[in-house]
Structure 1
């Protein structure tokens, strides 16, 4: 199958990124390898969408810091980008609406002949740099169909679909049916078992790519914040520019970890009140 015949895919990761870790970035690489190894897909872009402050998660620092850390973490990537639309909304936005937004953006870009293929653009940008040119990278659309959008997540997010009042059932169905999910396994998780136990996920199982990480890496933002509170080193857990940013701005402390401690998580507030 030629490159033009393969389905273009954009990977969208939503989450707190509090802070972004090397594992968050690694998920994109794992998903791209898995999808492209099937011979049916060409991953053209990765998008990181940090949640807004309205999510009210305990210990969630301001979106401006989480956005900047994500940008620093991806500054050397030629295909992973950071989008601030979700984080700039005044209230928490359901993940399905974030997915819809980015799908609409991709469709609009395609209709306007703006290529979202950041992999190709990155290569062209490097060639232009080598030629000492300073032209901006204007995207060239070579395929008519808009890219397929997959929600990229860890197995813990997939399994959170089963937590009452955290997700609306119709939102889950729309995500897995219309868009699809690329799920990275984690130590101790069993996404295949969870999919088998869920009627909705089992119904749309062909749209869920379960991706095994054989080189297990259990870095978590929670563990990073704990180390910071205790004055321990976090180097090599996060990209160096992110470590420097955290140190320069004195982020993450015992006080910041108590932020929103007495507040109910936004999904529970919204969905419990409507039941």
Structure 2
């Protein structure tokens, strides 16, 4: 009987990383352990993609700082890297588009290994233009890109106008989702509640964090504003960078306070046009 090697997986985490914390990094380790424990996957890379300034989230400091902190946080990792493409865009880019972009980059990196790269590229374009999870198949050797997130992202799928339904379908149905649970969340209930998530439930990997870790970037910023210690909540190199550049103050927390979050604004504009 022919044995199949595990599917190579690249984990992608998109978010504000404002600032990046030890929990953000811990999620990658938890997800890798969970996936590899199934015997079906081998995680070969992790990617952190900070959102651009165009997201307009309250308290979001400049992308150049968030990008550098992410780089500092991952400098000792032999498999987690930082990608700057999303953060450098002048406007907010939908997560589905970020995943597509990075997936194309991964496939391009693999291109020289294919016997017929032109044929495979045409096939990918056809698959992208007519997405149906049941008809989408990766070419042998292509890594599978999965979105890594916390339970809050899964919960946000239910927020009106925050996500386009077709984007959720593409992310979950085509690529796959790895969700790390947190205390008080019930992601399985959310999956059961949604017909769309239930349809693609086999592409959703729920990871239990038994060692409770509730580090929140929001609470870190609050502590910094109050001159409280945040050591051991984030890498020392990130803390030194924050102190050096005097980031996170009462003033910075009010940034974008009167601006509508980019996805909400975009979807409102679309509905009125």
Distance in 2, matches of 1:112 and 1:62, equals: 37
Q: Is the 8 A contact 1:110 1:144 kept in 2?
A: no
Q: What does residue range 1-275 of structure 1 map to in structure 2 within 5 Å?
A: 5-113=5-113, 144-275=140-271
Q: CA deviation at 1:172?
A: 0.3
Q: Could you tell me which residue of structure 1 aligns to residue 130 of structure 2? A: none
Q: Distance in 2 between matches of 1:58 and 1:98?
A: 22
Question: How many Å apart are 1:145 and its aligned residue?
Answer: 1.4
Q: Secondary structure at the match of 2:219?
A: helix
2:64 partner SS: helix
- Distance in 2, Cα, partners of 1:112 & 1:184: 35
Per-residue displacement from partner, 1:159-183 (whole Å, max 9, x unpaired)?
1000000000000001000000000
**SS state at 1:104 partner:** helix
CA deviation after TM superposition for structure 1 residue 272, in Å: 1.4
Contact in 2 for aligned 1:153/1:181 (Cα 8 Å): yes
Deviation of 1:45 after TM superposition, in Å, equals: 0.1
- The structure 1 segments of at least 4 consecutive aligned residues displaced by more than 2 Å after TM superposition are 1-4
The Cα of 1:112 is off from its aligned counterpart by 2.8
Give the TM-score, by structure 1 length: 0.88
SS in 2 for 1:28: helix
Q: Specify every segment of 5 or more residues in structure 2 that has no aligned partner in the other structure, as ranges.
A: 115-138
Q: Aligned-residue CA RMSD in angstroms?
A: 1.6
Is this contact kept in 2: 1:3–1:42, CA < 8 A?
Answer: no
Q: Deviations over 1:208-253 (max 9, x none)?
A: 0000000010000000000000000000000000000000000000
TM-score (norm 2): 0.88
Q: Report the counterpart of residue 139 of structure 1 in structure 2.
A: none
